[in-house]
Amino acid sequence: MKKVIINENQRGLLFKNGRYIKMLRPGKYRSSFAKEIEVQNTGEAISTERCSLDVLLRDPEIAQNVTVTEVADCQLALHFVDGRFASILPRGKYAFWTDAREHTFKILDISSPEVSDDVPEYIFSEIPTDFYTKIEVAQFRKARLYFNQKFIKILDAGTYYFWNNGTKITVGFVDTRLTRMNITGQEILTQDKVAIRINFVCNYRVTDYVKCFMEIDDFLEQVHIAAQLALREYVGNAKLDEILMNKSQLSDFVFQKLKEKEKALYVEITDAGVKDIILPGEIREIMNTVLVAEKRAQANVITRREEVASTRSLLNTAKLMDENKTLYRLKELEYIERICDNIGNINLNGNTDVLSQLTGILKGQQ
């Protein structure tokens, strides 16, 4: 014999020779080899492997002390105990003891993956992730929602939940911000057969978040190719000097070509331009040599211009001094003053004045 104690928060199921006999309330009981007692917690659903739930519910005493709910296919049940969420129940039949607590249920239809508005969002933090799929869309994105590869709708920024009912749920994200595309290292032959490399950049924004993916195979690659073709068209019909002198025309040409493709590619091209034009090594050396020669020639021209201006100034000064004796004399005094600033001692002889003797010395030196 074995002693079994059933507490206040428990109930017992008595089986004899494998058959259900009756329900046992709290107390002390004895079990034997033929009689077995299975203890059930009243806070949990009734569950036993010895018999089905329907067999237990045939007992009037059990039927009067339990709440029963049945969840069909494509349904889930939200289980609340005393008004507070307790668990989620998949398909099946459930019975809960009602002696101490009130059990209520909310049946949800999950034949469609979309969650109805009357399901509170906090529920999803309380249930296992096996029951749902969570999708988060950032503020700068939109998402294309697909059920079994079929497009359903566009999702704006936010958090979304979908029931896992066997439907394959997929999303495709699209960036709604202004996006930069770099087209780097495009090696193209000019009209005069010079191979140059061009780095180009354009800024775009998607205008139709569905068609750009459903009607175009890799729309980003299509934009890239459109820019490449426009670059080749312009560069192939222009000489190197024209390209280097008119980079803005090249940018405008490619920009206009891309604008013509906007509707077909479902994008908006906001601006585009050439970043760099990279020349072959030997062409760079030639260009540098030409640049140095041009700068030297410009420097020589400036030097000659200054020499001419200086000579003309001297000529004008000489004419003025020749016409005006006083001005000539003042100029002499100016030079004598400069000389005296750099001479330590001056010896003078004779009866003439100092200024006349200095002037004579200077004339004698000349």
- Return the SS3 of 343: coil
Q: Where are any strands of DSSP class E within the chain?
A: 2-6, 10-16, 19-24, 27-31, 35-41, 66-71, 75-81, 84-89, 92-97, 103-109, 132-137, 141-147, 150-155, 158-163, 169-175, 179-189, 195-206, 267-278
Q: Are 220 and 226 in contact (CB under 8 A)?
A: no
Q: Cβ of 214: how many Cβ atoms within 10 Å?
A: 12
Per DSSP, 2 falls in state: E
- pLDDT in single tens digits along all 366 residues of the chain: 788 899 988 899 999 988 999 999 999 988 887 888 999 998 889 989 889 999 999 999 999 999 999 999 999 999 999 989 999 999 999 999 987 788 999 999 999 999 998 899 999 999 999 999 999 999 999 999 999 999 999 999 999 999 999 999 999 999 999 999 998 877 888 888 888 888 999 999 999 999 988 888 888 899 999 999 999 999 989 888 888 888 889 999 999 999 999 999 999 999 999 988 888 766 666 666 766 677 777 778 888 888 778 778 777 777 777 777 776 667 667 767 776 766 656 665 655 555 566 666 555 554
User: Which residue, among 98, 78, 100, 81, has the nearest Cα to 90 in the 3D structure?
Assistant: 78
What are phi and psi for residue 148, nearest 5 degrees?
50, 45
Q: Report pLDDT for 59.
A: 92
Contacts of 115 (CB under 8 A, 6+ apart): 132, 161, 162, 163
- State how far the Cα of 63 lies from the Cα of 56, in Å rounded to an integer: 8
CATH superfamily of 179-279: Band 7 domain (3.30.479.30)
Q: Are 272 and 254 in contact (CB under 8 A)?
A: yes
What are the structural domain ranges in the chain? 2-109, 179-279
